[in-house]
Structure 1
Amino acid sequence: MLNFERLQILQKYYDYIQKKTGVRDYFLVGGALRDILLGIKEKLDDVDLTIAGEPIGLYAQMEKEAFSHFITEKFGTITLIPKEGVMQGIKYEITPFREESGYQDVRHPDDIRWTNSLLADAKRRDFRINAMYYRFLNIKKPVYEEKKVLDSTTLLKVLDREGFVFLENSGVLIVQNSSLIDQLLQNGQMDSDFLYYLLDIQHFAYCYGEEGEKTDSDGRFDLQIVIDPEYGIHSLINRKLETVGDPDIRFQEDALRLLRGLRFVNVINQKLLNNENKEQNADPLNKVRLFDFETETWKSIKKNHDLLKTIAKERIYQEIVKSFSEGNPFGLVALVDEAEMLPILFPALAKTKGYDQPIRYHPFDIYAHIILTLWHLQQINSNYLVRFAMLYHDVGKVGQYEQYGLNLTREEIRNILAGPLNHRFSSAELMKEDFRNLGFSNKEIEEIKRYINEHHTPGEILMGNSQNWTKRLRKLFSEVGYEKLQNLLDINIADRLGMYNPLQNSSDLTDSYYLKTLVDEIEQTEGQFKKSDLAITGADVMEHFDLKPGKLIGELLQVGFDWVLGDVKHRNVKKQILANIANYLKQKK
């Protein structure tokens, strides 16, 4: 069911902007309204509004003292950010009603015309679930003699029959019929007489869901109004993502909508599942319904997928990062693959499809193994950079295995593993190329690269002498810190889970989890030990051994550092470190 009673959450944001700007008759529009109704949002970080009028005139008319503010004249968007108070930092974006035409760059309209028609504004929007408009109005509550309870099916039937419905228990009026909307909104302003007329002609006190707005002692209440000309309520209840109008036209106007559609379904579904998992006694016979694509919309996404090549990398970056941060990365990759976008977004990953691996390690091709490891990783780690590292950790195996097919000798294979074709290094290089093309920053790429380069290191630690595990973890801890080391161990766990091979006993992860425990112990008892924490300096080494500055000093400091890592508590003593270095120099001679 939809959460109409929660629309009251929006009221404080709406009321604030009206009072602070001195302008009335706004409509809150877009994702906030959608997510509140679905029950997957509690508060807003940004608020999208619309209103009748022309942007320059509205901007001049507004009181702006309480805000940092600016206007983007080309597209008419006014941005207001409160400087202080409970709304401080929340971004309000106001774009007046408009009509659009001509999309030569497959992204932005060539012609924008300002209008006073909400109906015309709704026609330009991407998906029906994003074309609902909200406001509230304090009015006298109507009285009905008879009560009727609606479920989702009967609610839609009433809307289809009447074109509107007032839900008495939650204080919500929904208006869908275009003729009624035209009469209700005169030049973008609410006609209160017609509003009361709609409430009067309804025969029953319809109730749906939980209680909402309470009536004041004088019989008045805040009516929550949803204007829904594109039947977004139907899409929310039926859990279908559907474009406003012809999907081919919508996607050819703005090709980013192709990827936004995938992201909406992906992130919304994950948040719905997160909500279900929070419930203590979820009904196993009443599982949460997830979103899918309306048939013609999905056909059009696949048909027009090639248009994605025209979109600036910065816009694509925003969409995929949102999905990898807030949604289900495995699910997004699956949708991208089915929509034939994989070679466009992730070229190196696309080449792993159908490329088999040695059966003694993996019963699947490289691609299946990668996305299965991604699935396991996202259950234990929400860092989007770690998730992207998992996505590309094995893409270099294609080149590595191609060389194996040349009947190489053991020595030649060892040379491959020691060189750039080792998939730990080649995967990182392929990631750098593909992710630069997606707009990732150098800092992000370097962190992902480190995870890929080191993704076998925890396994190598486990294959070594267990007495050295703590020392080797300390070294990694020193280099990358606590959080990144735990991320690396999560990658190791997911990689092993994604093997699905009983010959490798990949489901027994007690040793990997033990490494995580050791890291926690190091963090709690010692913290991150860096070279700067070493009890000696280069000057100490030069003075003690009568040496001049040079590469040897760095080498000797590293010798001392590696030795101290074996027992930080007891070995980080100047005299002991110098003695260990002296022994090293003696053996070196």
Structure 2
Amino acid sequence: MTNLQISPPAPVQTALDTLCNAGYEAYIVGGCVRDALRGAAPHDWDCTTNAKPDEICACFRDFHVIETGLQHGTVTVVIEHMPIEITTYRIDGVYADHRRPDTVTFTDSLTDDLARRDFTVNAMAYHPDRGLIDPYHGADDLHANIIRCVGSPRDRFDEDGLRILRAMRFASVLDFTIEKGTANAVHAQKTLLHHISAERIDTELTKLLCGIGAERVLTDFADVLFTVLPELEPMHGFDQCNPHHDYDVYAHTLKTVAACPPEPVLRWAALLHDSGKPHTFTTDEHGGHFYGHAVVSKEIAGRALKAMKCDRRRYDRVLLLVDQHDLVMNGTEKQLKRIVRKLGDEAAEQLLLLHKADVTAQAAC
């Protein structure tokens, strides 16, 4: 894997060449290296250099330069309509707010810069002529499908509590395993998420939910999910006492999530669709029942999504799907037309997909 050649897009190569021709070091770094080594197309291409911010600006005086975050050493250069973020090698100071460093110190050491990054798979740098720079063995972890913090997991999470959810998100999206020491710190330091804004949590949790490993990750780290969405904790271990359900409410919920297409509205609706069950449970000689649980689930979903400060479109659509998910489906053309008339084409299709996933997740095959 370490011998794999990475070919940056022409604008990125121009950025590297411009800095190197001016006498500076320059590398692509972080997620773009990780994705390229996996054979996936990077979404963004970031660069790192020993050039200071004013020196970066001087190198690119013939290009459009955006002073994104000069205090943290970050400049965005637009080359052929592609924005490229270029950051000076730096060492981060104390993270008093568990979100961002109070101070940064610029350094000439690439290794020191990579040491401040969250996970080993994100702490690699590459230059087409110099090859891969990987002091923390990220390529080995990438090959082994492992998410591991750079250095001390407790220190990395104490610096930025969002990294707790990022570890889970990468494990879900990449279908990786979180290394034991890192996993232990995720559980131990989950309350650091209370320092993180709802918007940042929503972004990471949405990506996590849409990952291939969402069911596994949210099973293993249920306590972390309940830290940010306490409304869901009553589902955990709640026996449905019903011959049609092989799983407790939480396990069924995660299987429904996994059975839905990986689209944010559907995955959020699946996560919240049965949240009202523990609050509506009754029993009789036929077993457990949850009469009216969709109405209560809708109320809980509304509170949860408001707390996450999600966008209005997702909020409205998820609540609609949760409210309607328990509709008895007979599969007739007449009923399908009625649902389409009531909800519209897109919402009707989403409801049918959610219903199919819900039924699929009821019993073990």
**TM-score over 0.5 for the alignment?**
yes
Q: How many residues get paired?
A: 359
In 1, Cα distance between the equivalents of 2:116 and 2:174? 22
> What is the aligned counterpart of 1:259 among 158, 161, 165?
165
1:75 lines up with 2:67 in the alignment: no
Does 1:475 find its partner at 2:333? no
Counterpart of 1:28 in structure 2 is 28
Deviations 1:405-428 (A, max 9, x none): 6x9xxxxx9xx95xxxx2112111
2:265 alignment partner AA: L
Residue 539 (structure 1) aligns with: none
Deviations 1:288-325 (A, max 9, x none): xxx32222222222211121121111111111122233
> Which residue is equivalent to 2:320?
450
Deviation at 1:481, TM superposition (A): 2.9
Contact 2:123 2:136 in 1 (8 A): yes
Matching residue within 101, 114, 128 for 1:122: 114
* 1:10 aligned partner: 8
How far apart, in 2, do the equivalents of 1:130 and 1:310 lie?
23
1:14 is displaced (CA, Å) by: 3.3
CA distance in 1, matches of 2:184, 2:243: 40
The question of whether the paired residues in 2 share the 8 Å contact of 1:262 and 1:335 is answered with no
- Ranges of 4+ aligned residues in structure 1 off by more than 6 Å: none
| Gap regions ≥5 residues in structure 2 | none
SS of match in other structure, 2:221: helix
Distance of 2:78 and 2:71 partners within structure 1: 20
Do residues 303 (structure 1) and 209 (structure 2) align? Answer: no
Rounded to whole Å, the distance in 1 between the matches of 2:139 and 2:11 is 22
**Equivalent residues of 2:94, 2:103 under 8 A apart:** yes
Q: In the TM superposition, what is the alpha-carbon distance from 1:19 to its structure 2 partner? A: 5.5
SS in structure 1 of the partner of residue 235 of structure 2: coil
User: In the superposition, relative to structure 1, how do residues 335 and 92 fare at CA in structure 2: closer, same or farther (>3 Å)?
Assistant: farther
- 1:68 to partner: Cα distance: 6.5
Q: Does 1:427 align with 2:297?
A: yes
Q: Which has the larger radius of gyration?
A: 1
| 1:61-140 alignment runs, 5 A limit | 61-65=59-63, 67=64, 69-82=66-79, 84=80, 88=81, 90-137=82-129
For the residue of structure 2 that corresponds to 1:351, the secondary structure is helix
Partner of 2:153: 247
Of 227, 250, 255, the match for 1:344: 227
Paired AA for residue 275 in structure 2: V
Change in CA separation of 1:362 and 1:237 when aligned onto 2, cut-off 3 Å: closer
TM-score of the two chains, using structure 1 as the length reference: 0.57
Structure 2 counterparts to residues 398-437 of structure 1, below 5 A:
398-401=278-281, 404=282, 422-437=292-307
Change (3 A) 1:238 1:47: same
- Output one character per residue of 1:377-431: Cα deviation in whole Å (capped at 9) or x when no partner: 2xxx222211110111111111111xx36x9xxxxx9xx95xxxx2112111111
Distance in 2, Cα, partners of 1:323 & 1:122: 25
Equivalence for 2:252: 369
Aligned CA RMSD, in angstroms, stands at 2.5
5+ residue gaps, structure 1: 138-223, 270-290, 408-412, 502-506, 508-589
User: Is residue 229 from structure 1 mapped to residue 135 from structure 2 by the alignment?
Assistant: yes
Return the letter of the residue paired with 2:266: V
In 2: Cα distance, 1:498 partner to 1:371 partner: 8
Aligned AA (2:293): H
Identical amino acids, percent of aligned pairs: 27
Instruction: Give SS of 1:99's match.
Output: strand
CA displacement 1:497-542 (0-9 Å, x = unmatched): 12218xxxxx8xxxxxxxxxxxxxxxxxxxxxxxxxxxxxxxxxxx
Q: Does the 8 Å CA contact 2:187/2:221 hold for their aligned counterparts?
A: no
Q: CA deviation at 1:473?
A: 2.2
Indicate if the aligned counterparts of 2:173 and 2:210 stay in contact, CA closer than 8 A.
no
Q: Is the 8 A contact 1:3 1:38 kept in 2?
A: no
CA distance, structure 1, for counterparts of residue 315 and residue 57 of structure 2: 41
Query: How far apart in 2 are the matches of 1:442 and 1:335?
Result: 30
Instruction: Give, in whole Å, the separation in 1 of the partners of 2:234 and 2:139.
Output: 41
C-alpha distance in 2 between matches for 1:238 and 1:491: 34
Give the CA deviation at 1:132: 1.0
Return the letter of the residue paired with 2:34: R
Supply the distance in 2 between the matched residues of 1:236 and 1:311 (Cα, whole angstroms).
28
Distance in 2 (CA, whole Å) between partners of 1:360 and 1:327 is: 29
Q: Are the aligned partners of 1:265 and 1:292 in contact in 2 as well (CA < 8 Å)?
A: yes
> Of 291, 315, 330, which aligns to 2:215?
330
Q: How does 1:382-393 map to 2 (within 5 A)?
A: 382-393=262-273
SS at match of 2:45: strand
